[in-house]
Structure 1
Amino acid sequence: MARSARFSPAPRRLPSARWLVPPLFLVLLLAGFLLAGQLRLLPDLSNPFTTETKDRTGPAVLKSLRDMSRYEGASGTFQVVVDLEKDAKFLPDAVRGSRTLFIGTGSVGAYVDLGGLGKEAVTVTEDREGATVRLPHARLEKPALDVERSYAVMKERGLLDRLGDLFSDNPGDEREVHKLAVGRIGEAAKESGLTARAERNTEDMLENLLRSLGFERVTVSFGEPGGRG
């Protein structure tokens, strides 16, 4: 009786290793280059994933010119803590509301305006040894907020406010707290005696100037006729 031949299935061929090595080699090579770039081993090879900053800001444009005819006799630096809170009437703070704690630092100058003085503002005696100068009272300049030294300590915002920031052109806008800080600094400057100090310093400056010109008796007054203010 003839025996039937037994056939065994042909063994499955595994993918050739030459198809696996190149992708793995490329991955390792790329990782090596990136690592070398981070470790400064290849100084001439720049990291292809770094960002490049390009400044396309145009030049500043001159809008106006103004002659300065004032003497700044004093200047003060002030700091204020602005605590601004906004609440919704029928919603909890976690849903709608905000609170900002802001430290504002700014300066205010005090000056005497010399641009509007007429001939009657200065009187010289017949012997030319005495001089009287009448000036307007000192004024305060507008407060200038120092943005480099001003900062927000705390910002708390409700869920609806945070969602609104996603559709806002200026999320986290701090113009309101800046305005409040400038206002408080201006109020503090009015109570600080800066104008009185500026007048004393202006008086000392003019006395020294006129004495150097040969005047022995010098009188400086503020707010009298002949001076504006």
Structure 2
Amino acid sequence: MERTDAPTENPATDDPRPVAPEAARPPRRRVSLWIKIPGVLLALLAVLLLGTRLFLIPGLGDLFGTETKDRTGPAVLKSLQDMSNYEAAAGNFQVVVDLEKDAKLLPDAIRGTRTLYVGAGTVGASVAMGGLGAGDVTVNEDRTAATIRLPHATLGKPALDPDRSYAVSKQRGLLDRLGDFFSDNPNDEQAVHRLAAQRIGEAAKDSGLTARAEKNTTGMLQGLLRSLGFKDVTVIYK
């Protein structure tokens, strides 16, 4: 029997156009997955890999290092103030602040923060000398004895030292993390700083810093007046 490869009509449709046999159809090509990836992504991966290898080569890592630019303007003088206090003593303090904020109806993993902060600062103690009147300083006729009446020493405001203060840890709930992601919240840091300054101020009151300041002020005045010829110098704190 003679075999012919003549095309036949398509029985599924009434299309008179012939249908090619299966053997005559070209084979389908399988497209590789790597061909579907955009060329830009491949180029980016190549650059990242190349940059990582360059960092491993001594001397070439500096070419891709970060650069810090300071665009801060000059400081502006706002006011001047004459000093009439003698700062006779200063104390260095350190406090560990453990500040936790919880939500009433939500667990800590969902809403709440806990900050562990080490605050270091100084507190000064000074004696006011600008308001002395005529009756606060008395001298005898021979100018060998003098009596000075001063107000008691007072404590200044605590000053936190940013170089010695640091945050140890900060735990945040899920909602707080999302809030920090979309917006900055400096109020939390200010609350920690205020609490650290408050605790340092309370510690300064019980440290005997004012008594030390009065003792140092007395020694300073006695040395100054004795160098001017006074033999008996009395300092009274009223």
| TM-score, normalised via structure 2 length | 0.73
Task: Decide which of 183, 202, 212 is 1:197's aligned counterpart.
Answer: 212
For residue 91 of structure 1, give the secondary structure of its aligned residue in structure 2. coil
Deviation digits for residues 39-68 of structure 1, max 9, x if unmatched? 337xxxx83x44433221100000111111
Larger radius of gyration: 2
Task: Decide which of 152, 162, 165 is 2:177's aligned counterpart.
Answer: 162
Instruction: Please name the residue that 2:59 is paired with.
Output: 40
More RCO (CA 8 Å, sep 6+)? 1
For residue 39 of structure 1, give the secondary structure of its aligned residue in structure 2. coil
- Aligned in 2, Cα 1:208/1:180: closer, same or farther, shift over 3 Å? same
Task: Decide which of 120, 125, 129 is 2:140's aligned counterpart.
Answer: 125
What is the deviation of 1:119? 2.4
What is the deviation of 1:35? 3.7
- Aligned in 2, Cα 1:61/1:190: closer, same or farther, shift over 3 Å? same
* Contact 1:165 1:172 (C-alpha < 8 Å) held by counterparts: no
What is the deviation of 1:69? 1.9
Do residues 149 (structure 1) and 164 (structure 2) align?
yes
Task: Decide which of 89, 92, 115 is 2:104's aligned counterpart.
Answer: 89
Unaligned runs of 5+ in 2: 1-45
Aligned-partner residue type, residue 138 of structure 1:
A
Distance in 2, matches of 1:153 and 1:37, equals 32
Tell me the C-alpha RMSD between the 2 structures.
2.5
Instruction: Please name the residue that 2:117 is paired with.
Output: 102
Distance in 2, matches of 1:199 and 1:173, equals 38
Unaligned runs of 5+ in 1: 1-26, 224-229
For residue 194 of structure 2, give the secondary structure of its aligned residue in structure 1. helix
Distance in 1, matches of 2:220 and 2:166, equals 37
For residue 56 of structure 1, give the secondary structure of its aligned residue in structure 2. coil
Do residues 69 (structure 1) and 84 (structure 2) align?
yes
More helix by share: 2
Distance in 1, matches of 2:136 and 2:186, equals 54
| TM-score, normalised via structure 1 length | 0.76
* Contact 1:165 1:171 (C-alpha < 8 Å) held by counterparts: no
Q: Which moved more, 1:199-208 or 1:163-172?
A: 163-172
